[in-house]
Amino acid sequence: MKYSTPFITSVAVAAALTIMAPVALADGMKIENPRARPSLGVAKNTAAFFTIHNGTAQADKLLSAEGTVSRKVELHTHLKENGIFKMRQVRSIDVPANGMVALQPGGLHVMVIGVHSPLKVGDTFELKLNFAHAKPMTITVPVKKQTGHMKMDHSKMDHKKMDGMKKMDGMKKKMKMPSN
C-alpha cells in the first residue's frame, strides 16, 4: 500500500499535536506540564506544579484543588520575609484573561499535605481544580524526579525545633544512632 506525501505529513502533524496536547482543556482553560515531587523520607507532603492558560476574555481564579491522595490539599506561595523563605496558604490564584500563570518551585504551587502513602517517581495521582468561572477539571499529575532546588538560607534556622527534626532525633535515640 502506497501513501502520498500529504497523507504522511498529516499523520506526522497529528501525532506531534497529540504528544504536545494539554493535559486538560475546558471552558477555555488549558493545563500544561503537571508534575509533582516525590515525597521523600519521612515527609508526608509534596507539591504539585503546572501552568494554567486562560484562553478567554474573562479573568478567572483557581479557587481550590482537591485530591484523594492526601489528607489535605491547599494553594500555596513562597514569600521572602527578612531574608527567610516561608510558605503561606493563599485563598486563590489569579489567572488573567487571555493569559497564563505558572505554578512552579519557589512560587505558587499546590501543596499536597499528609499523603496516605509515599509518592515515588513514576506514580500518578489526580487533582480536581476548581475555578471561579470555568468548570472544574480533573488532571493526572505524574510524580517526577526533582530537578533544581530553591535556594534557601538555612543559617538562621534552628532545625532542632522543627517537628520533623524532633521526630528524627527521637528515632535516632531509639535506634541508638548519634544525633547531628
Mean pLDDT by 10 residues, the chain (180 residues): 51 45 70 93 89 96 96 93 88 97 95 94 97 96 76 46 49 51
Rounded to whole angstroms, how far apart are CA atoms 50 and 139? 10
Query: Do 37 and 47 meet the contact criterion of CB atoms below 8 Å apart?
Result: yes
Q: Could you give the C-alpha distances from 40 to 79, 119, 145, 150, 179, in angstroms and in order? A: 23, 8, 11, 16, 20
Rounded to whole angstroms, how far apart are CA atoms 14 and 26? 20
Q: Maximum CA pair distance of the chain?
A: 73
The kind and range of the H/E element at 166 are helix 163-174
Give the number of other CB atoms < 10 A from CB of residue 14: 10
Residue 121, pLDDT score: 95
Residue 159, pLDDT score: 46
Residue 109, pLDDT score: 97
Residue-range domains of the chain with CATH: 25-146+164-172 (2.60.40.1890)
Residue 79, pLDDT score: 85
Residue 147, pLDDT score: 66
Residue 41, pLDDT score: 73
Residue 1, pLDDT score: 53
Q: Which residue has the cell 476574555?
A: 57
Residue 155, pLDDT score: 46
